[in-house]
Amino acid sequence: MSPEESPAQKPKRNFVVAIDGPAGAGKSTIARHLARHYGLLNLETGAMYRAFALKALRSEVPVNDASALERLAAETDIQLESGETENRVLLDSEDVTGQIRNQTVTDAASRVSIHPAVRASMVKRQQEMATKGGVVMEGRDIGTVVFPDAEVKIFLDAAPEVRGMRRYDQTAQKGTPSAPPEEVIRDLRARDERDRNRADSPLRPATDAFLLDSTNLTLDEVLKEAESAVDRFLAKTSTSLQSQG
């Protein structure tokens, strides 16, 4: 049985908006907006893989050593706290929010996340997070594996060149030194390759996801489309987001 067909989630959960898509598609911006607009918790699952990658790097566990990573995951605590602008990420109670976005961790996160045992451990924690309140959860496998029965699923995509340039511009705006655009795009393609081709939970749209390609859309247009997807669900069910069980 594929994960998408598996029976209902074990923990009793609340309303879920699942946002999946490749790196640089704008998931975080959309997720943040929807969370604010509908009063939901905004949870970035990529930050969990990043925090775990940081732990592997610090512990000098090779990113290709599946059994050592499995043991490491079992003894690692990762907490995400929904914030106004970004998630606060606690790794074994240490705030590592500012340490997980550099190139070394980005690359390691992409590599540790191919291992099924690492994924299973993260997915379990993610499912538990939706027992506390309604969530907008973003990642690569939220609509296919973590919450195959999510109320709303959005798959956000854009051409690699567009995503790469957006990433480059974001970094430049922050005043942080960045690799040249060609390198950013090349790196993004390499991560896409790994995400889409891994055996366990590859990046792909759920069959019932709303596909939103932002290549030729302004941010405003994308936000409106995403809101419409949630509104369509609400109109269909006439339910309040907070009280969904």
- Min dist. Cβ of residue 149 to ligand DC (A): 17
Rounded to whole angstroms, how far apart are CA atoms 2 and 54? 30
Binding track over 92-111 against ligand DC, x by CB under 6 A:
-----------------xx-
Q: Is 141 in the site for ligand DC (CB under 6 A)?
A: yes
Stated as kind and residue range, the H or E segment containing 233 is helix 219-237
In sign, the C-alpha dihedral spanning 101, 104, 105, 111 is positive
* Helices 219-237, 27-38: crossing angle, 10 deg rounding: 50
Query: 171 or 231, CB closer to ligand DC?
Result: 171
Instruction: Check residue 147 for interaction with ligand DC (CB under 6 A).
Output: no
Closest among 86, 82, 78, 81 to 56, alpha carbons compared = 78
Is 113 near ligand DC (CB under 6 A)? Answer: yes
> Least CB distance from residue 177 to ligand DC, whole Å?
19
User: Binder to ligand DC among 13, 32, 50, 166 (CB under 6 A)?
Assistant: 50
Binding window for ligand DC (CB under 6 A); candidates: 41-49, 76-84, 160-168, 210-218: 41-49
Question: H or E stretch including 51?
Answer: helix 45-58
Distance CA 43, CA 146 (A): 13
- Which of 195, 206, 229, 241: binder of ligand DC (CB under 6 A)? 195
For residue 23, state whether it binds ligand DC (rule: CB under 6 A).
yes
Q: Which two tokens stand for residue 65?
A: 């050593």
Indicate whether 135 belongs to the interface with ligand DC (CB under 6 A). Answer: no
- In the complex, the smallest distance separating the C-beta of residue 145 from ligand DC, rounded to whole angstroms, is 8
Contact in structure between 72 and 63 (CB atoms under 8 Å)? no
Residue 191 sits in the site that holds ligand DC (CB under 6 A):
yes
Question: Can you give the C-alpha Rg of the chain in angstroms?
Answer: 17
State the residues that interact with ligand DC by CB under 6 A.
23, 45-46, 49-50, 109-110, 113, 139-141, 191, 195
